[in-house]
Structure 1
């Protein structure tokens, strides 16, 4: 398997990932691909050659090996890495589709117009594609962990297995090569897979919570400024916005701390015009008619 080509393909996914997605890619490359290529393949090597049984019956060792190892760990992990990283290419293909639409739109309407502000921004259909890819990756990880757990009995590798499958003449003892080393690598790869599942769940929560906050913020701003009907004349619109500015300025002045001028300003005197009017009304009219 050409892991360099595999790494080159996945490097394009890093541009459109969130912070959790970049950490997930780092875990996949460092703790899974690198460990797989550098150490795990050499540890397993030719497993069937190291599988010894205490009998010379022809075919007995082959049948017992196939019974206890229906699929090799190393090949199962290779399939897991391929299937887990395939959903990430959905995002790359969606961005490529957007780029193609943007190119055709500019060719038709001119370079000054644009269909998308940013083709790699996770809005609309790309957001759903990214979210679905996370669910698919998590499902694949869980499925492969279940398969490994079901086949190898809680990821455990014993030193000795007893086999009575035909054509073995009786119950035969078979010994697995490097059982402790294989057990350590198995637990390590299972732990790295579990870490990737946790990162995928955190990224799903992050994307959904960010979307909910954005929708709540838009609803709040829409509630603050109710729209006017379309049949209202323009001067009513002007008065509406002027009154809104006056209300906002009053609220601003009310929230401001009192200044020196407002604190030393004398209170307004009560007008005595009403009292004078009473005196004038009660006084006799001395004017000569």
Structure 2
């Protein structure tokens, strides 16, 4: 495996990760990849040669080794590291897709226009892609730990195993090479994997809590803006359409036709009397 190429690919993921994501990437490189390359491969090496059985029966050591080690630790960890880092490339691909859309948008509408404020900012679809990648990484880590636990019985490597598989003539004692050293590295890799699971869960909680807090702040600011707009509308004299009417005026009944007719008749009689009492100026001239 070309670990330098692998590291170059993952270095791009670090630019779009949160603080928890950067810690997770550091743990993967320092406590898993470096330990795997520097020490683990040399400890295991060709472990089938170090698997000795007290028999010369042809085929018996090979069958016993395959029975107790159906999957080599070193190859299982290599697959785990590859699979667990693949979801992170989803984020890189999504950012590259955004960059391509931004480039096409500027080429069409001009360099002054923007489709995204920041293509690497975790909003909208990129936020969901990042969250899905975290769930995928956590699920892969748990799955590989379960496989290792299922195959090797609680990650334990005994010094002596007894084999009764054909073509062995009878019960055969087989000895594992460097059992204590392999056990230490097994527990170390399992612990590093568990630490990565904890970091992924913390990052999931952090992203969801941050998103909920942002939505709550938007709702509060919107309600505050609506309340200020409502107060300004009531204080504006041009928008104040309220009529101050007393309750007693609302309770009074409208005048009847007869009352209105009598009032008009009295007013006309008064006008005639005023005209009759007025002096005739034309006769005086």
Cα distance 1:241–1:180, how it changes in 2: closer, same or farther (>3 A)? farther
The CA deviation string for residues 209-229 of structure 1, in whole angstroms up to 9 with x for no partner, is 00000000000011112289x
In 1, the alpha carbon distance for the partners of 2:232 and 2:5 equals 65
In 1, the alpha carbon distance for the partners of 2:77 and 2:45 equals 14
In 2, the alpha carbon distance for the partners of 1:237 and 1:210 equals 30
Q: 1:280 maps to which residue? A: none
What pairs up with 1:248-259 in 2 under 5 angstroms? none
Q: 2:150 maps to which residue? A: 150
Q: 2:51 maps to which residue? A: 51
Unaligned runs of 5+ in 2: 237-285
RMSD of aligned residue pairs (Cα, Å): 1.7
In 2, the alpha carbon distance for the partners of 1:21 and 1:130 equals 10
Q: 2:181 maps to which residue? A: 181
Q: 2:204 maps to which residue? A: 204
How high is the TM-score relative to the length of structure 2?
A: 0.81
Q: 1:18 maps to which residue? A: 18
What SS is found at the alignment partner of 2:70? coil
Cα distance 1:238–1:57, how it changes in 2: closer, same or farther (>3 A)? closer
Larger Rg: 1 or 2?
Answer: 2
Q: 1:117 maps to which residue? A: 117
The structural deviation recorded for 1:240 is: 2.6
The structural deviation recorded for 1:237 is: 9.0
The structural deviation recorded for 1:119 is: 0.1
What pairs up with 1:35-46 in 2 under 5 angstroms? 35-46=35-46
Equivalent pairs, count? 236
- Segments of 4+ in structure 1 off by > 2 A? 236-243
The CA deviation string for residues 211-259 of structure 1, in whole angstroms up to 9 with x for no partner, is 000000000011112289xxxxxxx99953976xxxxxxxxxxxxxxxx
What pairs up with 1:135-174 in 2 under 5 angstroms? 135-174=135-174
What pairs up with 1:218-237 in 2 under 5 angstroms? 218-226=218-226
Q: 2:195 maps to which residue? A: 195
What SS is found at the alignment partner of 1:151? helix
